[in-house]
Amino acid sequence: MTREPEYLSIARALRKEVLDGAYDDDGSLPGNAAIAQRFDVNLKTAGRAIQHLVAEGLLVTRPGLRPIVVPPERRTTAWPMTGRYARARTGAGLIFATDVTGEIRKDTVQREWVQASIALAQLLHVKVGSRIFHRASRTYMNNALAENTSMYFPAAIVAHVPRLENDERIQVLPLLEDAGYVVTRTVNEVRARLANQDERALFGIGSTDVVIEQTHGTYGDKDEPLEAVINVRPAADNVITFETYEGP
């Protein structure tokens, strides 16, 4: 039998304590260092356990501060899933009746160095026009294009994790974790808009069709920017959506 990852068993113990009201007095949990010491694990494992509960909507993390408990009445927020987490959930059988079904594949279509736009510069904490690395990929469901993804990485991160640039296929979070980074938070923005000309051709949709654009930034335990991602999906037919946001 496959052994359960340590961070999941820690998350389960902390989840029970949160739901039992163990942290209701001040609303905050111990920090990662205290949790690591309590469960005799490293900081990365403690951070993953906390992030798992953030993904479930039980906790909120803040740079430099202890995670706080989300009040019960605010735990029903639904987040669209990114393709990366969608595939992870599908592969593990963790899907709802309304989730995606069928064969999913992901193709890398572009790897290049580009200049940071205003929006990307804000997410990656770099100057506008700075050199950043761009990976573009497309996710197909039953051979129909379901998602167009652009991932952007600061030059400093690529220098430390060169496989982000060089490998044809990657799993971003494991690569970052293997390099010693701990993902502690993400920022998300979701909006619906009309498809542009390139997207209309790419998805085979019309000029009045809507796409869902999700932009998110990923940050480490020192609040360093690790990645910015822009996912675009058509708002009908093959759109990939989930009822929960599943953490790394």
- Could you give the percent of the chain with pLDDT greater than 70? 80
CATH number assigned to the domain comprising residue 135 = 3.40.1410.10
pLDDT in tens, 36-53: 999 999 988 898 888 888
Cβ proximity of 89 and 99 under 8 Å:
yes
What does the pLDDT read at residue 74?
65
Question: Contact, 106 vs 139, CB < 8 A?
Answer: yes
Same domain for 28 and 97? no
Tell me the two tokens of residue 115: 């200049």
Say whether both 192 and 123 belong to one domain.
yes
Shared domain check, 144 and 59: no
Domain boundary pick from 43, 74, 105: 74
- Beta carbons of 227 and 217 less than 8 angstroms apart: yes
Task: Identify whether 159 is part of a domain.
Answer: yes
Q: Which domain holds residue 37?
A: 6-74
Residues 126 and 166 in one domain: yes
Rounded mean pLDDT of 229-248?
58
Domain boundary among 74, 102, 128: 74
Instruction: Examine the domain organization and report whether 42 and 96 are in the same domain.
Output: no
Residue 47, domain CATH: 1.10.10.10
Lowest mean pLDDT among 46-55, 148-157, 221-230: 46-55
- Residue 248 included in any domain: no
Q: Kindly state whether residues 115 and 227 are assigned to the same domain.
A: yes
Does the pLDDT value for residue 97 go beyond 50? no
What CA–CA distance (Å, rounded) separates 135 from 113? 9
List the Cα angle 110/113/116 in 5-degree steps: 115
Domain edge (last residue) among 47, 74, 101: 74
Structure tokens at 83: 């393709």
Average the pLDDT over 189-199 and give the result: 87
Same domain, 90 and 144: yes
